[in-house]
Structure 1
Amino acid sequence: MAVERIDYQAGTVVGRGALVWNEKIDGPRPLLLVMPNWLGVTDAAIARAARIAGDKYIAFVGCMYGEGKTCDGPPTSKAWVDAVASDPVERRKRVNAALDTLVAEAEKRGIGDTSKKAAVGFCFGGANVLELARSGAEFDAAVCVHGDLAGSIPARKGDIKAALFIFHGSKDPIAPKADRDALEAELDAAEAKWQMLDFGGLLHAFAEEDVNVPGIGVYHPGAAHQTYRMLDDFIQDAFAKRL
């Protein structure tokens, strides 16, 4: 898989993301924005994007902190996330810039089918994908995997253009049932096309192999396998207008 680091303007910061694709495959492929968890554009995030992209997609790992910054976790990661979340307008500019950069760089290289665009995010990245959809961005499918579900600026009727799929653990302490209920009400009011899948008894971060924080986030291989398979099916169905 080819991996190319790319600098781009993202709101008030210069993001450094990673374009990921199988350079041995000919012909344009659909575009997939991959928004990473709160650790930033790490090698693990790029490897995850490469696995999802495979031969099917041109992927881009977006940067929310600027300069491709990464960290090892709390307290730094929490401080960085809180700083981004404190300015929802800036946050939306940054995630929209990541999508725009994916489109521009794929077009520049002649490798992307820019008529088919999707986004998937994990944890903090899942929340950013929801914000991308709430902002009214034009793309086909948004997949939020164990993300923070509460948004600072609720979507209004007609704002959300993408079909949404939210994967969640029923015991996730980061986004409790009250947040799920509020998101459902928001999406219904916005007349969005959405679906949500709760994995019974699971916590946060069930689809990320390197997570094991008892009581908060624990990897679950079965749920992860299902999630990756179903998110791909959902995106393909969105591209084919079957949803």
Structure 2
Amino acid sequence: MQQSAVIEYNHDGYQCEGFAVWDTAGPNRPGVMVFPEWVGVGEYTQKRAQMLGELGFNAFVVDVYGKGIRPNTPSACEAEMMKYATNRPLLRQRARCGLDQLRKVPKTDLGKMAAIGYCFGGMTVLEMARDGQNDLAGVVSFHGVLAAPTPLKPNTYKGKILVLHGVDDPVVPDDQTMAFWKEMRDAKVNWEFVAYGKALHTFTNWLMPEDGPPPAVYNKQADRRSWIAMRNFFEEIFA
């Protein structure tokens, strides 16, 4: 039976509030970290964690911003996100703290762990790979920001990387995409990049309108296909 709970924890004395999903029955299950979009922990990522639970995974939604910090306007979201986008060492530390929390989720197989992230969260999981977080067998970025001040270096990350991208995402212009490809090639990492036609930013988030103005627009087909791609990826890395 699926269990879930709000989990309070701290990073160097800074209070955070994540969300865990697990199942107490049966054998230990692979664990998946979930990193939210720029709004922080909320309805959307909690639902994604529950969906992962239905697929047979334990999940932990990581609170990068901190307890009670839940911006609800674009300007507030940008301001909060930029605190970490411009301080990648802090972002990596906050992510590692989230990984410690995933390890504490009951009946999690500590030999089978991965991370997924959406938008800002997609950037975060890529930073975990750049940081050499080799306890993660794989990371999956959904419409994530690809630019990085400190590119992935060869022989740093031993896991696999899956990037699921909207080809018309105005937040990630083509030159940023090409720079990311070069980064992956130069690092000689195991990576895959999937681009969905007619998909913009935040294409997986059903809380966004399908016919709204750019940059953030829901795309049902790209959402469905990217979730399937993630499932296939997990079947491979957790085999």
- What is the TM-score of this pair, normalised by structure 2? 0.93
Is 1:89 the counterpart of 2:89 in the alignment?
Answer: yes
**Aligned equivalent of 1:125:** 121
Superimposed CA distance per residue, residues 94-129 of structure 1 (whole angstroms, 9 cap, x where no aligned partner)? 0111112101x13xx3x1111001111011111111
CA contact (8 A) 1:32 1:53 kept: no
**What is the CA RMSD across the aligned residues, in angstroms?**
1.4
**2:207 counterpart SS class:** coil
Q: Residue type of the partner of 1:100?
A: D
What is the deviation of 1:181?
A: 0.8
What is the deviation of 1:11?
A: 5.2
**Aligned equivalent of 1:9:** 10
- Picking from 185, 199, 204, the partner of 1:188 is 185
**Aligned equivalent of 1:158:** 155
Q: Structure 2 CA distance, aligned partners of 1:49 and 1:20?
A: 6
Q: Structure 2 CA distance, aligned partners of 1:12 and 1:189?
A: 38
- What is the TM-score of this pair, normalised by structure 1? 0.92
**2:73 counterpart SS class:** coil
Superimposed CA distance per residue, residues 129-169 of structure 1 (whole angstroms, 9 cap, x where no aligned partner)? 11111100011010000010111211111112220010111
Q: Structure 1 CA distance, aligned partners of 2:17 and 2:155?
A: 32
**2:121 counterpart SS class:** helix
**Aligned equivalent of 1:201:** 198
Is 1:231 the counterpart of 2:227 in the alignment?
Answer: no
Runs of 4+ displaced beyond 6 Å = none
CA contact (8 A) 2:21 2:58 kept: yes
CA contact (8 A) 1:41 1:68 kept: no
Q: Residue type of the partner of 2:199?
A: L
**Aligned equivalent of 2:39:** 39
- What percentage of aligned pairs have identical amino acids? 30
What is the deviation of 1:57?
A: 0.5
Q: Structure 2 CA distance, aligned partners of 1:149 and 1:58?
A: 27
CA contact (8 A) 1:38 1:73 kept: no
CA contact (8 A) 2:19 2:46 kept: yes
Superimposed CA distance per residue, residues 176-224 of structure 1 (whole angstroms, 9 cap, x where no aligned partner)? 1111111111111111100000111211111110123412111111111
Bigger Cα displacement from structure 2, 121-130 vs 43-52: 43-52
